[in-house]
Amino acid sequence: MNIFQYPSQPEWAALQQRAAQQQAQDVEQRVQQIFEDVRQRGDAALLDYARQFDGADLSGGLRVGPEELAAAAAQVPAELQTAIRQAHANILRFHKAQIPQEERVETMPGVTCWRRAVPVQRVGLYIPGGSAPLFSTLLMLGVPAKLAGCPEIVLCTPPQKDGLVNPIILFTAQLLGITIIVKAGGAQAVAALSGGTDSVPAVDKIFGPGNRYVTAAKQLATRYGVAIDMPAGPSEVLVIADESATPAFVAADLLSQAEHGPDSQVILLSDSLSMLEQTKAEVERQLRVLPRAEVAAQALTESRAILLRTPEEMLYFSNQYAPEHLILAVKNPEQLAEGVTNAGSVFLGHLTPEAVGDYASGTNHTLPTNGYARNYSGVSLDSFLKKITFQRLTPEGLLNVGPVVETMAEAEGLRAHARAVTLRLEALAGGEQ
């Protein structure tokens, strides 16, 4: 990590720059080809891609059968099962508190309006497999989808070379009560979810992370009328640390993000040069013993340690950067947190590592990256709900609000709008109800 001392504000923009995330034209073209192929050949295309990309023969079918699903639990260690169940309970408790209450409001006498939350009817959850099957992400997406009451939940995840789905993912799906599980990964899974095949129901909204092909596929899916959770990119963390922070803790937090992938980014801000230097040394020491050291080391090449003058200046920098994860490793984190305006999720104090949010504190780890925290929230129960407004007028209500509408509609030159009210007012005046 390079240390930058007291950069001027005009220099901040360069320091806040993410690694170039330009979508290669060949990626977009390849994804477009995959979409067209899946839409034309359906399941046959998915079977071919499973052989090509996953090395798996799925001639027995794309769906996970009840026997494979039931056998999964026996393959998951008891300690991990207990951990997953506890994480599930915490995530459920936090998201359950987000259930909206329907409230009827009388805006004027006889005019009643209300809003009702209705679940998205068909949702697709994409969970990467491979070397790091993200069963934690399945919890983060499956819990609110179930709480919202989505009638149809389709899980797509790539198969292993033996044609089976990772048993931890299947155990988690079983815990969540998800039964439609498709052995499909990559852009082809997103294509199937957006258009449907014999084995894959078409959905209304797609959730979940993935590589650049999956990201491009989700963006393409929106052109077919399918919604997605949010724009996604490489994972990132920004840590604000003062002299009270523990360098070993801060270094571990930085590396926990760096090991996600070579294009992840970590930023460290401090008003203490000693803290920056000690943390840099700790990063180098801890990096040597990580199984994913090569991946983390590559991510660190795009990472920065920056010396600023005050906590307020550090917070200003952070709000401009809009990190996915923000750690406040300072003396008074609650006080500093009051000024946070742009962040996906915030972790307060020296004993709150970002890793707890990734797995089990209860908050959702599906968060906006690449600066989108300026205008997007992370996944929540709301992500799986639509809000529909209702209104009803009594005769008194029409008499009260009708003239207001007539006046406004006439002023906009929309005579039919005004007449829709006028006819009813005339009917009321004539004794009709």
Residue ranges for the known binding site are 126, 188, 211, 235, 257, 260, 325, 358, 412, 417
Q: Which residues are annotated as a binding site for NAD(+)?
A: 126, 188, 211
CB atoms near residue 209 (< 10 Å): 22
Strand partners, 270: 241, 307
Q: Which residues contribute to the annotated binding site for Zn(2+)? A: 257, 260, 358, 417
- Mark whether 325 is an active-site residue: yes
- Measured in degrees and rounded to the nearest 5, phi and psi for residue 41 equal -110, -10
Name the residue among 23, 27, 29, 52 with its Cα closest to residue 263: 23
**Which candidate, 196, 262, 199, places its Cα nearest to that of 234?**
262
Q: Which of 142, 124, 135 is nearest to 200 (CA)?
A: 124
Which residues line the annotated binding site for substrate? 235, 257, 260, 325, 358, 412, 417
Q: What sign for the dihedral angle of Cα 376, 349, 91, 212?
A: positive
φ, ψ (nearest 5 deg) of residue 388: -110, 130
CB–CB of 45/233 below 8 Å? no
Asked whether the beta carbons of 111 and 400 are under 8 A apart, the reply is yes
Please name which of 343, 264, 252 lies closest in space to residue 300, comparing C-alpha atoms: 264
CA distance 160 to 182: 12
Distance from the Cα of residue 394 to its chain's centroid: 43
> Catalytic one among 282, 302, 325, 354?
325
**239 forms bridges with which residues in the sheet?**
268, 327
Burial annotation 26-43 (CB, 10 A radius, 16+ → b, else e): ebbeebbebbebbbeebb
430: number of Cβ within 10 Å? 7
How many helices and strands, by DSSP H and E, does the chain display?
A: 17, 14
Query: What is the C-alpha to C-alpha distance for residues 160 and 39, in angstroms, rounded to an integer?
Result: 24
Residues 176, 127: contact at Cβ < 8 Å? no
Which of 236, 302, 324, 354 is catalytic? The answer is: 324
Residue carrying structure tokens 């994972």: 235
In this structure, the chain runs to a length of 433
- Residue of 1, 65, 12 whose CA lies nearest to 313: 12
Beta bridge partners of 157: 183
The tokens 């006080």 sit on which residue? 335
Tokens of 339: 């000024």
Longest dimension (CA), the chain: 87
Catalytic residues: 324-325
